[in-house]
Structure 1
Amino acid sequence: MQLEAGQLFRDIAVAISVAVLMSLLVSITMIPALSSYLLRTTRPASSRVTIPVLDGIAKSFARFFLGYTKRITRNRFASGVVVIALLITTTTSSYLFLPKLEYLPEGNRNLIFGVMLPPPGYNLETMTSMATKIEDKVRHLWSSATGPIAEPGQPPKIGNYFFVALPNIAFFGAGAVDRTRVAELIPVLSATLYDEPGTYGFFNQPSLFSREIGGARTVSLDISGSDLAAVVGVAQKAAGIVGSLFPRTEGNQMRPKPGLELGNPEVRLYPNRVSLADNRVNAVDLGQSVDAFNDGLRVTEVTIEGRRVDLTLRGLEDKIDRTQGLENLPVVTPDGRILPVSSLANVELTAGPNEVRHLERQRTITLQIMPAPTIPLEVAIDMVQNQVINKLSDDGLPLVSIWGSQERPTN
C-alpha cells in the first residue's frame, strides 16, 4: 500500500466511500424535501389535460396495485410468502448474473515484455539468430523505419524495441508510439514465436499489481514429485491438454518453468561409500573439494575497507575444459595423499533440466497459463481444474496443485 499503485487505489477507495456516504445522507434528507416541492400539484384537477386511453390504463394499473398491496399487508401469511419469494428471486438472480471473478486491472504501462524458451542444448549464437528473426518479423512496425503513424486497421507503430539473448532464454521488450494502444502489440508479437519449432514463450503487458514476469492474470499448475522423469512425463501430458484447451492462436499463452525436456548435459557424482571409508574421506569433504574447483567454496566473510566480502576458495580457472575432466579433479585425503574424484565416486554423465525447482521439497515443473483477455480468470481456473487436473488425477499423479494469481489452494 506504500507504493505508487497502492496509494492511488487507497485514494480511490476513500473517494468512493465518501461519495456513498454523502449519497446516503442526500437520499434521506434532500431528495424527499425536493420531491415534495417539485412534484406538488399547482393546477386544479379540472384544468388538467386528459388522455382517454392512457389515463384509463394508468388508473386501472394504480387501482390494481393499491388493492394488491392492501390485501398483502392485511394478511401476515401472504406478506411472509411475498417476502420469501422476493428474497429467493433476488438471491438466485444475483447468483446467476454475477460476473466471473477477475483479477485487478493490468494498467496501461507502455511496455510489452516477452520471454522465449528454446529446446535444451541451444547455444548463444543460435539464440541470437532466433531473436534476430523475431526482430525482423516486426521491423515493418518500427516508427524509425516506416514512420510513427499507423495505417487504419493496422497495429500501432513500435517506438522502442529491444531483445536480450542468453544461451537458454531470450527476453524481448517493446513500446508503442501511441501508448493507449500498446496492448494491441501482444498478438502481433506473440505470433512471431509460432514459427520457431519446440519453443515456448509469451508476450504480455506488465501489471501494476504483480512483480512476476508472467503478469497478474496467470494460473500456475504445479506438477511435483520425487521422481523427476515421472514429473516430466506428467508435465508433458498436461502441457498437451492445456495447449488444446487454450490455443495460442486465440491469444492464450503458456510458459513451462523450467522446461518440459531433460536435454541439458548434467554430471552427477555418486559417492562410493567403500572407497570413502577406506581413505577416511566423508561425502561432505568430497562435495566441498568438487565445489572448490567449480564455482568456488565460500569459506567465511571478511571486512575490507568497511565492505563485507566473501572469502572464497577456488581452483585454477580454465583448468578443465571438458566434462570428462571432472573425474580427474584432485581430492586430498587426511593422510596427505591426492586422489582423483573417480577413485572416490562414480561419475555419471546424464541429462537434466536447466533449472531445479522445488515445491515443499519436491522437484516441480510449473506451467504458467496466461488466458486470453476474453476468458475470465475464474473460468480459466475452473477449466484447468475440471479438464486438466481431474483428467490427470485418474491416471495417478505424484502431486498436482493449482492456484490463481492471488491465492494458492492445493489439491
Structure 2
Amino acid sequence: MRREPGANVIDIKRAMLDEVAALNEGLLAEQGMRMTLSSDDVRYVESSIANVWVNLGLGALFATLVMYAFLRSARATMAGIIGIPICTIAAFLGLLLAGRTLNVISLAGVAFAIGMTIDNTIVVLESVETQRRRGLARFEAALEGVKQVWPAVLASTLTTILVFVPIFFIQQEAGQLYSDIAVAISTSIIISMVVAITVIPTLGAHIDFRGKESASTAAPRWVRGCLWVVNCMIHTAFRRLMAIVLGIAGGIGIFVWLTPPAEYLPEGEEAKTFVSMNAPASYNLATMDAIAQTLQQELEPHVGADPERFERGDTDIPPISTMGIQAEAQSLRIIAETSDPTHIEALMDALTQRFEAYPDMRAFAARGSIISSNDGGTRSITLDIAGNDLNELYTTANAIYQRAQDVFDNPRIQSRPSALDLGQPLIEVYPDWERAAEVGMDTSALGTTVAVLTNGAYLDDFYLDDEKIDLYGYGPGAGNIALDDLATLPIHTPSGINVPLNTLAEIRETVGTATLRRVDGRRSVTLDVIPPRSVALEAGIERMQREVIEAMSDEGTLPANINVTVSGAGDQLDATRQALTGNALIALAIVYLLLVAIFAHWGYPLLILATIPLGAAGGIVGLWLMNTVGAQLPKIGLNAISQPFDMITMLGFLILMGTVVNNPILVVHQARENLRTASMSVRDAVHQAVESRLRPIAMTTLTTLCGLSPLVFLPGEGTELYRGVGAIVLFWAAWHGDCHRYLLTCPDGGRAELEKTKTIGLSEGFIRLGFD
C-alpha cells in the first residue's frame, strides 16, 4: 500500500491495524494463516513529533525562567509569557489555513517561534516599565510606552516575516519544507506583535508589574561594562572606522573560511536498514534461498538479545528488534531495526560484511528515511554511464565502481542493473520468416505464442461494469518448460496444424544480461554512490569528478565513446542552493526597502543591514563549534554530535536575515527619538539608546537561546531534521548579543548629526554617518 499525498500516516496505520485484525480473525484464520506487523515507520514519526512537543515545552519553560530572573515579578513574567499559548495556537491556525499538515517540520517551526514571539512582548513591557520608573501613572505609562517603541516593533516584525516571502517561490522539494517552517513562524510573529501592542499595554494600565526594586540606583555591573566598551569604541573617528571595517570584513571572512561543504537535505533517518545482496548470473533461487536460511540462523539469536554482549565486543551484531528476509533468484534483501538507534550503522556494516563474504556478491545498505526513498536518496551521487557496446559499457562501469571503492572509505554503492556482467544464461529464438509465412504466422503472433506457452503473457483487456479486466494467456506447462523440451514445443498455426517450434525458428543458447537499462534512449549503467558520513555530498561530488572520472580519462581507462554524467542529489543541491541564494538577495532588498519606508531615510537601513555579515559569521562559528566539540563527546562517554550544512540548515541564515536587524532597529529608533525629543548630542543620544535597550536586548537574547536550546542539544528521533537551522539561529543569538550592539554604535556615533543627513545623498550620508 502507498499513501496518497497529504494523507496522515498515523491515521492510516490505525485504520490498517483494525483491518489486519479483522483479516486475522476471518479470512486468514480460515486458511490457517496470520498477518503480523514486521516493520513500522509510524513509530519514528510518532517519536519525532513527541520530541518536538517536549522541546517546545522545555523551551517555553526556560524562556519563562529567564524572564523572571530579569523582571523579578511574577505578574510581569506572566504578562510577558501570555503571548506564548496565543501565538502557538495562531501558528496551528496558520498551518490549517495554508493547507499544511501537522508534521515534524511544521511543529519545529512552531517551536522555533517560541523564543521569537516574546521578543515584541519584552520590548513593549520594558518600555512601559521604563515610563513607570519615570513617574508616570499606569495608564499614561502604558500609552507612552507603546508609542515609544511602536515603529521599532512594527519594523522588526515586518522584516522577520517578509524574508520568508521569496521562500514560497522555491519550486524544489526543499521549498515545501521551508514553507512549512515559514508559515508557522510568520503567523506566530504577526500575532505576537498584536499581543505586544494590545494585551501588554492593557495589562500594564491595570496591573502594577514592578517587582522587588533594588535599593541602589546605579546601573548593574554588566550594564556599566557594556557601556564602557561602547564609549571606548565610539570615542574617536579612527576607532569607529576600525570597528566597522573589522566587523563587516571579519564577519565575511569568517563566514567564507568556516563554511563547510554542503549536503542536500537531512534524511529523517530511522533506526532501520535496508540491505540488499546482488548476486552474479551464476546464482539461482535455490542458492539464494540457502544463503537466506544461513543468514537467518545467524541473525535470529540477536533478535531481542542482551545489548551487553555487543557493548563488550563479544559480537559485531547489535541487538535487533525486528527483521525480515526476502530471497529472489538474483538478489536477497534484509530489512532490520536495531533496539538502540545508535547501533544502526554497526548493524549495516555487519550485514554488508556478511553479504560480501560470498563470492562475487555485492552489497548495498541504506537507512530508512521519511523524506527520500530508502536508498540514501538525499546523499546519493548518481553516475549515468552510457555507451553502445554492452561489453565495453559493463567493463567501464565495473572499473568506475572499483575506483569509487578505492577513493572513499567504505562507501555504499548500488548499480542498476544490479549484475554488471554478461554471464546471464539466455535463450534466443530466431524465427525462420519464410517457414512462418507458409503457415500464416507473423512476428507478433509467433512471439506471443512462445511467451504464452513458456511463462504466460498479457493478451488484452475489457471492461465489465466499468471495471477493467486484464486477460493473460498461459500454456498447459507455462512456467515449468524444461530447456530440452523447448525445441519440440507444439505451436498451433493459423493454417490449423500443430508444428514443433524448431521447425519455425532456430533456438540458440547464449549469455548476456537479463536487464537492459536505457537513459535518454542510450544503453546505460547507473551507479548510486553514497559517500561515508565524514564526506559531505558537495565534497563527494567534487572528488568523484576529480579522482574518478577525470583521473580515469587522463589514464586512458575511460573510453572516448563512453559518456559519464553526474546527477542525482547533486543536481538538486545545486538547483536548491541557487534558488535559495537568489531568494535571499530578494529578501535582503525587501528588508532594505521596508526599513527605508519606515525610517523615511536611505542611510539608516544601511547601518542596520551592516550587522548581517557579523550575524552570519556568528551562525557559522556556532555550527563549527558544535561539530568540533560534538566530535569529542565520545571521549567522555557521550554520543557524538555532527550537524551537516544542509539546505534546511541554510534556511537559518534566511531567518536571521530578518531577525538579526531587530535589535539594531531598536537602538537606531531610540537614538533618533533622543535626538528629536531630548535635544541631545549625537554621542549622548547613542549612549542613552544603548543603555535603555541593553536590558530588553539581553532578555530577548537569552529567551531565544533558552527557547532553542532543547531543539538543538537534546537528541532523539527527528531532531536531525531541524537541529541545523536551530543551531544557526541559536548561535547567532549568542554572538549578536555581545557583538552587534558594539558594532552598531560606531556608525551611529559619528560626529555628523544624524538628522542632517536626511538632506544628502545615499552614499555621502552613509559615509558621513560611519566615518566622520
| Fold shared by both chains (TM-score > 0.5) | yes
Cα drift, residue 235 of structure 1:
0.9
C-alpha distance 278-139 of structure 1, shift in aligned 2 (>3 A): closer
Describe the superposition over 1:150-190 as per-residue Cα deviations: whole angstroms up to 9, x where unpaired.
56454642233332222211111322233454444222332
**Paired position in structure 2 for 1:228:** 390
Give the alignment of 1:272-287 within 5 angstroms: 272-273=432-433, 275=435, 281-287=441-447
1:198, distance to aligned residue in structure 2 (A): 0.8
- For residues 82-93 of structure 1, what are the structure 2 equivalents within 5 Å? 89-93=250-254
The match for 1:405 among 547, 565, 569 is 569
User: Is 1:321 matched up with 2:321?
Assistant: no
Match of 2:366 in 1: 204
Maintained 8 Å contact 1:402/1:408: no
Secondary structure of the structure 2 residue equivalent to 1:109: strand
Structure 2 counterparts to residues 61-80 of structure 1, below 5 A? 65-68=233-236, 70-71=237-238
Aligned mates of 2:432, 2:120 — CA distance in 1: 82
- Are 2:106 and 1:11 equivalent residues in the alignment? yes
| CA distance, structure 1, for counterparts of residue 563 and residue 118 of structure 2 | 52
In the alignment, what sits opposite 1:115? 276
Cα 1:233–1:409 change in 2 (3 A) is farther
Post-superposition offset of 1:302:
3.9
Corresponding residue of 1:351: 511
Instruction: Confirm or deny: 8 A CA contact 1:138 1:189 kept in the other structure.
Output: no
The answer for the alignment partner of 2:420 in structure 1 is: 260
Q: Secondary structure at the match of 1:193?
A: helix
SS of aligned partner of 2:369: coil
Q: Which moved more, 1:322-331 or 1:200-209?
A: 322-331
Q: Which runs of 5+ in 2 are unaligned?
A: 10-44, 46-100, 134-212, 575-772
Give distance in 2, aligned partners of 1:196 and 1:158: 23
Q: Structure 1 vs Structure 2: percent identity of aligned residues?
A: 22
Query: 1:345 offset after TM fit, Å?
Result: 3.9
Task: Give the structure with the larger strand fraction.
Answer: 1
Q: CA deviation at 1:207?
A: 1.0
Match of 1:375 in 2: 535
Q: Work out whether residues 401 and 409 of structure 1, in 8 Å CA contact, stay in contact via their aligned partners in 2.
A: no
Counting only pairs closer than 5 Å after superposition, residues 161-240 of structure 1 correspond to structure 2 as 161-179=323-341, 181-214=343-376, 216-240=378-402
TM-score, length basis structure 2? 0.43
For residues 297 and 161 of structure 1, what CA distance do their matches in structure 2 show?
Answer: 35
Where 1:378 maps in the other structure, the secondary structure is helix
Residue number in structure 2 paired with 1:42: 217
Counterpart mapping for 1:20-31 below 5 A: 22=117, 25=120
Change (3 A) 1:159 1:280: closer
Gaps of 5+ in 1: 49-54
CA gap 1:89/1:214 in 2 versus in 1, 3 angstroms: closer
Distance 2:301 2:460 in 1: 55
**Aligned to 1:315, what secondary structure does the other structure show?**
coil
Per-residue CA distance 1:374-411 (angstroms, 9 max, x = gap)? 2222222222222223334553243323223374699x
Kindly tell me: are residues 140 and 288 of structure 1, through their superposed partners in 2, closer, same or farther at Cα, counting changes over 3 Å?
closer
1: CA distance between counterparts of 2:124 and 2:374? 49
Letter aligned with residue 107 of structure 2: I
Equivalent position SS for 1:192: helix
Shift of 1:202: 2.5
Q: Which amino acid aligns with 2:482?
A: R
Measure how far apart 1:212 and its partner are.
3.9
Query: Which piece of structure 1 moves more, 164-173 or 122-131?
Result: 122-131
Cα pair distance change 1:23/1:373, threshold 3 Å? farther
User: For residue 117 of structure 2, what is the amino acid of its counterpart?
Assistant: M
| Structure 1 residues 330 and 152: alpha-carbon distance in aligned structure 2, compared to 1, 3 A threshold | closer
In structure 2, what is the equivalent of residue 52 of structure 1? none
Q: 1:137 deviation in Å? A: 4.7
Q: 2:260 aligns with which of 96, 99, 106?
A: 99
Contact 2:275 2:366 in 1 (8 A): yes
Alignment partners' CA distance in 2, 1:366 and 1:225: 12
CA distance 1:35–1:357, change in 2 (3 Å): farther
Following the alignment from structure 2 to structure 1, what is the Cα–Cα distance between the partners of residues 470 and 492?
Answer: 24
Once the two structures are superposed, residues 341-396 of structure 1 have per-residue CA deviations (whole angstroms, 9 ceiling, x without a partner) of 44444433221224333322333322222222222222222222222233345532
Deviations 1:232-281 (A, max 9, x none): 11111111111111343xxx222222211122211223444555556654
Give the 3-state SS of the residue equivalent to 1:350 in structure 2. strand
Aligned to 2:521: 361
Residues 84-133 of structure 1: per-residue CA shift (max 9 Å, x gap): x7655533432332222224333353422211112212123322332344
Alpha-carbon separation, structure 1, partners of 2:471 and 2:282: 33
* Aligned amino acid, residue 325 of structure 2: F
Give the conservation status (yes or no) of the 8 Å contact 1:134–1:193. no
Please give the TM-score of this superposition, normalised by the length of structure 1.
Answer: 0.76
* Amino acid of the structure 2 residue aligned with 1:374: S
